[in-house]
Amino acid sequence: MPRRVFCAGAVAGLVAAAVPAFAIEAGQRAPVFSLPGLDGPVQLEALRGKVVLLDFWASWCGPCKLSFPWMSAMQARHGAAGLRVVAVNVDRERSAADAFLRALQPQMATPLTIAFDSAGETPSRYGAKAMPTSVLIGADGQVLLQHAGFRDADRPALEAAIAAALGAQGRAPK
């Protein structure tokens, strides 16, 4: 009998570990932040009225290398409709982030808003458990979606969520 209890507990633990647990959920107000950025301070409150795709990334993250050109394309395609992509780096050393950005610059059609949080406080407040983690925030400051990781197969659903968020504020992309 104790063996069955242990096995059931172990299976329940594995299932719980497989389901991402986010500290913030859709419908909650996005935690505000003010971080140093490439072009000066980056403050979430200053972006109120825009749809924000907030992305937490690190230079050592393989999927992040795939997500950056896609995020740049999203900024180019939807920026005029009210989208702002904010990419928050969590590397302890700024030089690693700078090297990552330099290497990807040829693939970046449109620059992103880049911020730095070497202490990792902001992704912690959002409950980010993987790199990258993206959070879609509506123009009203409410979290619409949180997504961990990045694969080519993720693009259609993420693009549909962005388009829906822009449409909800009356500025759907054409």
Distances (CA, A) of 48 to 90, 118, 171: 23, 24, 15
* Tokens 């030089």, located at residue: 95
Sorted by where each begins, the domain ranges of the chain are: 22-168
Is it the case that residue 44 has pLDDT exceeding 60? yes
* Mean pLDDT of the 93-116 span: 94
Specify the pTM. Answer: 0.84
The predicted pLDDT at position 168 comes to 77
pLDDT tens digits for range 46-92? 999 999 999 999 999 999 999 999 999 999 999 999 999 999 999 99
Is it the case that residue 105 has pLDDT exceeding 50? yes
pLDDT tens digits for range 138-160? 999 999 999 999 999 999 999 99
The length of the chain is: 174
- Please give the CATH architecture assigned to the domain spanning 22-168: 3-Layer(aba) Sandwich (3.40)
Q: State both tokens at 6.
A: 């242990």
How is the chain classified by DSSP, letter by letter? -HHHHHHHHHHHHHHHHHS---SS-TTSBPPP-EE-BTTS-EEGGGGTTSEEEEEEE-TT-HHHHHHHHHHHHHHHHHGGGTEEEEEEE--SSHHHHHHHHHHHGGG-SS--EEEE-TT-HHHHHHT--SSSEEEEE-TTSBEEEEEES--GGGHHHHHHHHHHHHHHTT----
Question: Which is it for strands 51-57 and 83-89: parallel, antiparallel or unpaired?
Answer: parallel
The predicted pLDDT at position 84 comes to 98
The answer to whether residues 35 and 88 touch, using CB atoms and an 8 Å cutoff, is: yes
d(CA 55, CA 108): 16
